[in-house]
């Protein structure tokens, strides 16, 4: 008997994980990511948190960090996670665009989708691939957070519980931030022929959408509210928030994701394979 | 009583305003394999794609087992060999076939067995751990046929199944089709009319997007006018035609191709015309390569009306 919706999505999700962890291409990607992350952890996070820690204890730091636009870092209980949060808000969305650009396009162009859609519906395939992309990103986020937690506890063992709380808060918030980016790439991937083209289109759409809305809102200020349509538009505000505070803005990415997934599913269900 | 498994009503599909299918209506009942033929651009692949749910028709309606194409409930009933579809080059063939089986509801262990079974059917058991790029065109085609055999589908659509295969594997595919029929109904789209003539009892002909149906070996046996097709070794056509025409019961002898003759005769006048023809060939010291009852499928489908 064919599996139900949930089990089909789970099977596709598992297969996407297999693609990452058991194929040469996937392993190469993990190794590259690990090397890049090692340097980020070792230099910016460790040294910046050392500096922050010293400034916090001396009491003169906030003015300097506020002067350079990083005052919000002082709101974090543990400086390592403050620096992580600022880095992650830039790094993970960029990473998301590159790793989730090929959710469906190359399979569709190759005809592999034909084999799959004979067995499961396009909807299950679409949402399964989306879930797979989210799970992969969740694994990367959790891994990087664990390494940051280890670094923090190595510096000061008494910070374990606060570090754990910050890690969970960041993981949840970061995943919510990445939802609309992944959903947008899912929608683009459903209609565009290659991963490279999806990435280019994503950048163009973001730039033009932001440009057009900014241009129009200078004449009609109320149109500035349309910025809510742009995935990640709340990032500047998020960077100023710490720990669990970003959850107050979670409705924006959740709403964007919902709309983008509906658009993506609509495209996918009408696409010629 | 055989049930209808495919029902197409006034189906139409247009590419940039040009009709690939035009008002096509037909039904297929479960049972013997059905051939789908037509010249290039006739709309065969478009029709196959619509039946598989890869393409939405511009007009009309289609139902398979009473369901719309692409309905998840068809997953264990319908299977297909799609044209120009390739497997993911990242994974091994075994991994992908197992995954397809899992999606069809097999457990992990059963999926592994099923993947081995279907690869064995197409004589590619040893390629289980190979990646698709390591296979030749013919082998890739056989793997694609193998995926269509996963589970026990009631209907299998095969788009050009023997194109690019060697004679041994063509025979193997033919025997798979014969073994699974009529429990599984096959619809085979192909340009290999000889192959279709061997396997199918019914032929659907698509020409300029319009469908007609022919039942093989049926209409001819009901009629007093029947045919024999003779493939001769190099010979003088006028001489052969002249001699054959003299035989009692022969109505007409045509020479559609070099060294090929179609003898039209009246069965009621001479029921044993085959013996007479053979005697005539022997008496004249001619040699023949092939002697077969009826017209070739090619002649019937594409040249009879001309």
In chain B, domain spans: 4-215, 223-303
Q: Looking at residue A168, what is its pLDDT?
A: 95
Q: Is there a common fold for B4-215 and B223-303?
A: no
Q: Please identify among residues 9-48 of chain B the ones whose CB lies closer than 8 Å to any CB of chain A.
A: none
Q: Is B131 part of the contact surface with chain A (CB cutoff 8 Å)?
A: no
Q: Looking at residue A68, what is its pLDDT?
A: 59
Chain B residues touching A115 at Cβ < 8 A? 82, 85, 87, 96, 100, 144, 147
Q: Is B129 part of the contact surface with chain A (CB cutoff 8 Å)?
A: no
Q: Which range, A76-90, A258-272, B184-198, B243-257, has the best average confidence (pLDDT)?
A: A258-272
Which backbone phi and psi does A210 adopt, to 5 degrees?
-65, -45
Chain A residues touching B103 at Cβ < 8 A? 2-3, 8, 11, 116, 119-120
B90 to A270: CB separation less than 8 angstroms, yes or no: no
- Is the distance from CB of A263 to CB of A187 less than 8 angstroms? yes
What long-range pairs does A174-177 form, CB within 8 A, spacing at least 24?
Answer: A174/A88, A174/A89, A174/A92, A174/A141, A175/A134, A175/A137, A175/A138, A175/A141, A176/A246, A176/A247, A176/A250, A176/A253, A176/A254, A177/A89, A177/A92, A177/A93, A177/A232, A177/A235, A177/A238, A177/A246, A177/A253
Chain B residues touching A272 at Cβ < 8 A? 49, 54-56
Size of interface A-B (CB pairs under 8 A): 81
Quick one: CA torsion of B50, B55, B59, B63, rounded to 10 degrees? 40
Q: Which residues of chain B have pLDDT under 50?
A: none
Q: Looking at residue A67, what is its pLDDT?
A: 60
Nearest by CB to residue B72, choosing from A107, A110, A120, is: A120
Of B49, B145, B103, the residue nearest A125 (C-alpha): B103
Q: Looking at residue A69, what is its pLDDT?
A: 60
Angle between helices B137-148 and B167-180 (to 10 degrees): 10
The β-bridge partners of B215 are: B202
Across the range A195-219, mean pLDDT stands at 88
Close Cβ partners of B22 (under 8 Å, ≥ 6 residues apart): B12, B208, B209, B210
C-alpha B250: how far from its chain's center? Answer: 32
Q: Looking at residue A136, what is its pLDDT?
A: 94
Q: Please identify among residues 9-38 of chain A the ones whose CB lies closer than 8 Å to any CB of chain B.
A: 11, 15, 18-19, 23, 25
Q: Is A102 part of the contact surface with chain B (CB cutoff 8 Å)?
A: no
Identify which has the larger pLDDT, B220 or A91: A91
CATH annotation of B223-303: 3.30.70.100
Q: Looking at residue A73, what is its pLDDT?
A: 67
- Is the distance from CB of A117 to CB of B54 less than 8 angstroms? yes
Q: Is B84 part of the contact surface with chain A (CB cutoff 8 Å)?
A: yes
Tokens representing residue A219 in the block: 């004449």
Q: What is residue B26's three-state secondary structure?
A: strand
Of A123, A127, A176, A167, the residue nearest A145 (C-alpha): A167
Q: What is residue A191's three-state secondary structure?
A: helix
Report how far apart, in Å, the C-alpha atoms of B117 and of each of A246, B132, B154, B169 are: 54, 18, 18, 17
Chain B residues touching A1 at Cβ < 8 A? 76, 105
Query: Each residue of A152-202: pLDDT tens digit?
Result: 888 888 889 999 999 999 999 999 999 999 999 999 999 998 989 999 999
B103 to A3: CB separation less than 8 angstroms, yes or no: yes
pLDDT of A15 above 90: yes
pLDDT of A59 above 80: no
Chain B residues touching A15 at Cβ < 8 A? 99
Tokens representing residue B116 in the block: 């081995």
Report how far apart, in Å, the C-alpha atoms of B274 and of each of B252, B270, B278 are: 15, 9, 6
First to last CA, chain B: 37
C-alpha B150: how far from its chain's center? Answer: 20
pLDDT of A221 above 90: no
Q: Looking at residue B270, what is its pLDDT?
A: 81
Q: Looking at residue B217, what is its pLDDT?
A: 58
Q: Looking at residue B215, what is its pLDDT?
A: 65
Q: Count of CB atoms within 10 A of residue B62's CB?
A: 19
B54 to A273: CB separation less than 8 angstroms, yes or no: yes
Q: Looking at residue A66, what is its pLDDT?
A: 62
Angle between helices B137-148 and B93-103 (to 10 degrees): 20
Nearest-Cα distance to chain B for A190, in Å, is: 14
A152 DSSP 8-state letter: H
pLDDT of A86 above 70: yes
ipTM: 0.85
pLDDT of A1 above 80: no
Query: Each residue of A31-43: pLDDT tens digit?
Result: 998 999 898 888 8
**List of E strands, B151-296:** 155-159, 185-189, 202-207, 210-215, 225-232, 250-257, 260-266, 288-293
Which backbone phi and psi does A203 adopt, to 5 degrees?
-65, -45
As a whole number of angstroms, the distance between CA B101 and CA B150 comes to 6
Nearest by CB to residue A117, choosing from B53, B95, B102, is: B53
- The answer as to CATH 3.40.50.300 being correct for domain B4-215 is yes
pLDDT of A126 above 90: yes
Nearest by CB to residue B55, choosing from A111, A120, A272, is: A272
Q: Looking at residue A150, what is its pLDDT?
A: 92
Q: What is residue A76's three-state secondary structure?
A: coil
As a whole number of angstroms, the distance between CA A216 and CA A235 comes to 21
Q: Looking at residue B192, what is its pLDDT?
A: 83
As a whole number of angstroms, the distance between CA A65 and CA A202 comes to 33
Choose, out of B89, B90, B114, the residue to mutate when testing the contact with A (most A CBs < 10 Å).
B90
As a whole number of angstroms, the distance between CA A73 and CA A127 comes to 36
A118 to B79: CB separation less than 8 angstroms, yes or no: yes
Chain A residues touching B58 at Cβ < 8 A? none
């Amino acid at each position: 008997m064919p599996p139900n919706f949930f089990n089909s999505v789970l099977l596709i999700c598992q297969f996407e994980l297999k693609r990452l962890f058991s194929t040469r291409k996937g392993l190469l990607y993990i190794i590259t990511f690990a090397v890049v992350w090692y340097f980020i952890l070792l230099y910016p996070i460790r040294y910046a948190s050392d500096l922050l820690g010293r400034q916090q204890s001396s009491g003169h730091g906030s003015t300097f960090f506020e002067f350079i636009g990083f005052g919000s870092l002082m709101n974090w209980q543990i400086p390592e996670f403050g620096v992580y949060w600022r880095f992650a808000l830039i790094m993970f969305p960029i990473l998301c665009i590159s790793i989730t650009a090929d959710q469906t396009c190359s399979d569709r162009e190759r005809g592999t989708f034909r084999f799959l859609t004979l067995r499961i519906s396009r909807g299950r395939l679409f949402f399964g691939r989306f879930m797979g992309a989210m799970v992969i990103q969740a694994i990367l986020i959790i891994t990087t957070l664990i390494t940051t937690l280890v670094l923090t506890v190595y510096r000061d063992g008494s910070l374990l519980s606060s570090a754990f709380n910050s890690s969970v808060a960041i993981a949840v918030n970061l995943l919510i931030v990445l939802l609309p980016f992944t959903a947008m790439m899912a929608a683009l991937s459903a209609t565009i022929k290659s991963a490279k083209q999806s990435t280019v289109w994503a950048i163009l759409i973001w730039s033009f959408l932001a440009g057009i809305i900014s241009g129009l809102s200078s004449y009609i200020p109320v149109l500035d509210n349309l910025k809510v349509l742009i995935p990640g538009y709340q990032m500047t505000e998020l960077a100023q928030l710490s720990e669990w505070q970003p959850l107050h803005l979670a409705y924006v990415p959740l709403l964007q994701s919902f709309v983008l997934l509906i658009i993506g599913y609509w495209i996918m269900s009408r696409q010629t394979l | 009583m055989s049930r209808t498994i495919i029902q197409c009503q006034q189906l139409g599909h247009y590419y940039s305003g040009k009709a690939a299918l035009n008002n096509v209506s037909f039904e297929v009942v479960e049972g013997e394999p059905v051939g789908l033929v037509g010249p290039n651009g006739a709309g065969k692949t478009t029709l196959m794609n619509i039946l598989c749910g890869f393409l939405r028709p511009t007009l009309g309606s289609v139902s398979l087992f009473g369901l719309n194409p692409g309905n998840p409930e068809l997953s264990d009933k319908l299977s297909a060999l799609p044209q120009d579809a390739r497997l993911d080059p990242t994974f091994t063939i075994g991994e992908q076939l197992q995954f397809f089986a899992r999606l069809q509801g097999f457990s992990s262990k059963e999926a592994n067995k099923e993947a081995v079974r279907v690869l064995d059917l197409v004589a590619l058991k040893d390629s289980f751990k190979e990646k698709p790029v390591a296979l030749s065109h013919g082998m890739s085609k056989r793997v694609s046929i193998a995926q269509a055999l996963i589970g026990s589908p009631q209907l299998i659509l095969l788009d050009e199944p023997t194109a690019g295969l060697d004679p041994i594997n063509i025979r193997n595919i033919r025997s798979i089709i014969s073994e699974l029929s009529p429990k599984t109904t096959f619809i085979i789209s192909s340009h290999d009319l000889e192959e279709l003539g061997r396997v199918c009892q019914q032929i659907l002909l698509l020409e300029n997007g319009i469908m007609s149906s022919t039942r093989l070996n049926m209409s001819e046996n009901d009629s007093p006018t029947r045919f024999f097709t003779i493939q001769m070794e190099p010979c003088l056509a006028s001489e052969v035609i002249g001699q054959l025409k003299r035989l009692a019961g022969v109505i007409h002898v045509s020479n559609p191709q070099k060294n090929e003759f179609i003898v039209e005769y009246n069965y009621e006048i001479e029921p044993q015309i085959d013996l007479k023809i053979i005697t005539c060939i022997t008496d004249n010291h001619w040699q023949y390569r092939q002697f077969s009852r009826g017209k070739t499928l090619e002649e019937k489908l594409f040249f009879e009306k001309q």
